[in-house]
Structure 1
C-alpha cells in the first residue's frame, strides 16, 4: 500500500503533463519540434521517477528533479511544462514532512536560488522576472510550511500512539504495581506494630528478674498495639486504598506522634520539622520514609538516639533520619521482611525524588531523601509555553500578501503600468490584510474580523484614486486571505455549531465592499448610485463570494471533523486501556485481601487475645507467627519478571506457544529474527494478536506476520468473533490510533496494516 501511494501522484503528474504538452498540440494538429518533445518527455520521465522516491529520500528526489526541470524549461517553449513544474513543490512538501527543520530550510533556500537563476533565462522583462520570483518564493515557503505542519501532525499521532503504548504497558504491569504498592502498605502498617510487640516482650522477658513490673507494661502495650494492628489490617482489607492510613492531620503532627510512640519503646527521638503544611503524595512519601527508618533503628540499634529532620529547600523536601549506635542488644534480629530499604526507595522514586542510606563514621546509620514538591507545577509551566506562529501560518500569510502584488508586477498589455509608489502602497495594504492570518489557529473569529475590516479599505482607496485601476483589480485578488480566515473559523473556531456564520459574514462584507468601490470609483453606469438601489444590488453582488466561501468553509469543517475524530479515537483507546488497568489492580487487591485475612489477621488476633489473658510467652509466639505470615505474604507479593513478559511483537511466538499448551490450535508464520519496531507498533502488534486470539473462538487459527521496510502486516484467520461487534471496534480504534488500517471478512479473517517507518 505504501508503494502504491508513492507512485500514484507521479503517475498522474506525468500523464497530465504529457496530455497537455505535447499531447494537446499533437491532437489539434499543431506542429511541434521533435527535439523539444523529446526533451519534455525526458524531463517528465526523470522528474516523475524521482518523485516516486520522495517518501523514502525526499532530498535525493529533489537532487534529480531540479536538473530534470532545468533541462525541460530550457529546451521547451515557455509555459509548456505548466504541470511538471509542480514536481519540485511536491518534493519540497515531502522534505518538510519527513526531514528536520534545518534540512527543510536549507533545501528551500536552494530552490529559491535555483528559481532566481533559471528565471534569468526565462524572463527578459524585469517586472515579469520579479513577479514570478515573488510567486515562486511564496509557493516554496507555503509547500515547506505545509510539510512542517504535516510532520507535526504525524509527530502528534506518534506521541498519541506512545501514550497508548504506555497505557498498555501500565495495563500489563497493573497487577505487578499493585502488588508492589500493597507490599509497602502491609510492611508499614503491620510489620511496624508487630515488631514493636516482639521488641517490647523480649526485653520484658530478659529483664523479668530485675524489673518484674516490665511484664505488666509489656502486656498492656501488646494488647493496645495488637488492637491497633488488627484495626489497621481490617481497614486495609476493607478499602485497600492507595494513601497512608494514618493520614488526616498535618505532616508535622503525624511525625511528632510517631516519634512519641517510638520514645515510649525506649528509642529516644528528637525532631526538627518545618513542613507541617505539606500535603499530598510528597507528604505521604516523607511520612512513610520516616516511619520505616525509625522501625529499622528500633530493630537494629535499640536505645540509640535518633534525630528526624524535615525541611523545604530549593523546591524540594529534605528528609533526614540519623540514629546513633545501639545501647542495648537487638531483640528483633531476623524478623524483617527485607523490603524496608527497597520500600523507602520506591516511595522516594514515586515522587521523582532520590534516597541515600548508609552507615555513619560513629557507628550509626543515616537515611536522607530529597523529594521534589514542585515537579508537577514545573511540568505544567513547561506545557503552557506560548508558541509563535508556525511556518505554515507565516507562509500562508505571506502568500496572501504577496500574490496580489506579484500580479501587479507581472506585465499585462491590457492594463496600465503601476509605478513604484502605487506598488508600495498596495504592498502595505495587502500586508495589513494578511497579517492577522498568523494567529488563525489561536483566535480564528478575531482573525476573520480583522481581515474583513481591512477589506473595507478598498472603497477608500478607490474613492480617493490612490491606485490605478490595475492595482484595484489586483487588490481584489486578496480575497484569498478572507477565504483562509473562513477556513480557519470552520477548522478551529468555537462554538463549532456556529462556524457556518462565517460564510454569510464574509460574503456580505465583500459584496458591500465591491458595490461601494464601484460606486465611489464611478465604474457603475458612470454616475453615483442611490442607497436604495445599492441595497437591492447587495444580494447579487454577494452571491459570487458566497459560492467561494461555502466550499472553503465545508472543507475546513471536514478537516476539523477528521482531526477531532482521530484525537477522540486515541483518547478512547487510552481510556479503555486505563480502565482495564484499574480492573486488574482491583482484582489483585481482592486476591491479596483474601490472603491477608487468611494468614496475618488470625495471628494478630491471637496476639491481642494472649495479651489480654496475661500470657507473655503466648504473646511473643503469636507476634512472631504473625510476622512470619507477613513475611510469607510479602514474599508472594515480590515481582517475578518472568511472570510478566513485555508485550512486543517478538513475544507473539511465546503467546502462541502458551495457547497451544492450553489446547488451542494456533499456528504462527513469522520471519525470524523480528526486526526493530517503534514502541507503539511493537506493543500494538502484540495486543492485536492477543485480542484476536482471545476473542472467544475455539477453532484452529493462524497468525501471519509480514515485515516490510516501512510497514507491518498482520493476518489472523479463524477468528470470526474478532471481526465484528465490540472486539472489532476496539481493534479498529487501536490500529487507527497509530495510523494503521484494518479490514475483515465474513470468513473470520482479519488483515491489519501498521506503519513501522518514520
Structure 2
C-alpha cells in the first residue's frame, strides 16, 4: 500500500482496477483529474471556431451545417471523459472524425480531438488501444479517399493524391510518437518520485535508528551509575551519612549529564539540519567516563593515548567504551576494568577487559548493549568480538577501520 501511494495509480497498474477495455473510474483520484472541464471547453471552442476558418479555403468540400457542428461538438465533448475512459474516448473521437470526413466536410481542427484522445490513452497505459484508434481513422480515410469517394459527398470528388495520404500518415506517426514520448517521461517521473520517497523513508529509518542508539547508550550508562549509587546510598543511609551523601551527589551529576546528552540528541528532532549546540562526545572525554565509572565503584585503567579520529569514528569509539564499562558495572563482580587503545595505519583497536565473575544481577538493562555496539562498528565497516576471557572475566574487542568514510560518518560529521 505504501508503494502504491508513493507511485500513484500509474499506467503499469491497470490490472488493479479492471481490464483495459473497461477503464472503471478510480474514486481515489482527484475530482479535477476525472473531469477536465477547462481544457475540454477550450478545445471545443477552438475546434468549432477553427473549423469555420479552415472551411473558407476548401470550396470543393461540403459547407459546414448543423450536422457537421454536432459532429464537431460530440468529438470535442467526448474528451471530458478521456481520463476516466481513455480507450472509449480514443475510439469514439476517431469514429466521429471518420464520419465527419466521410460526410465530405472540410479538413481542420477535428483532428485535434483525435490527437488529444490518443495522447491521453497512451499516457494512461493503453498504447495498443490508442494505436488501433488512430489506425482505424487512417484506414477509414484511405478507404473513403481511394474507393468510397464515388458514392459519398461532396459530388464530383476526386481520388486523393499520394501526397495527401503521406501527409495524413505523417500526422498519425507524429501523434503516436509524441504520445509515446510523453508516456516514457511520465513513467520515468513516477519512478523517480517513488525512488525519492523510498530514499526519504530509508533516511528517516536510519535517523530513527541513530537517535535510538544514542539514547540507549546515554541512558543505559547513566541509569546504571544511578542504580549502583542509589543502592550504596540506601545501604549507608543510617550508618555512614557522608558516604550516602557522596552517592547522592554522584546520582545528581550522572542524571544532569544524562539530561544534557538526551537534550543534545533531541535537538536534532526539533531543528532538522541545524548544527547541534554541543559537539558530539569522543575519546577526548574518556577521563570523564573514567570518573563516572569511579563514582559507580569501578576502577578503570586506560592503556594508550586516545587518538584523533574523524567525528563519526570518534563518537562510535566513545559509545563502545561507554557501553562496555556500563556492562561491567551491571553484570560483573569485578570492580576493576582495563581499556586498551591501539591505533595503526588502518584501524583502531579498542579492548575493554574485566576480571569477572558475572554476577547475574539485573541492573535494569534492555539487553541491547552488545547489539548496539555491533551496529555502530558495522556502520563504519568494523567488527565487535565479545565473550569470556580465557583467564576469566569478560572482553570486548572492537576493530574500527579508519580509511573508509561511511554514510554514517558523513551524517555524524559536524
Q: Normalised by the size of structure 2, how large is the TM-score?
A: 0.50
Q: Which has the higher contact order (CA 8 A, sep 6+)?
A: 1
Q: State the TM-score, normalizing by the size of structure 1.
A: 0.31
Larger relative helix fraction: 1
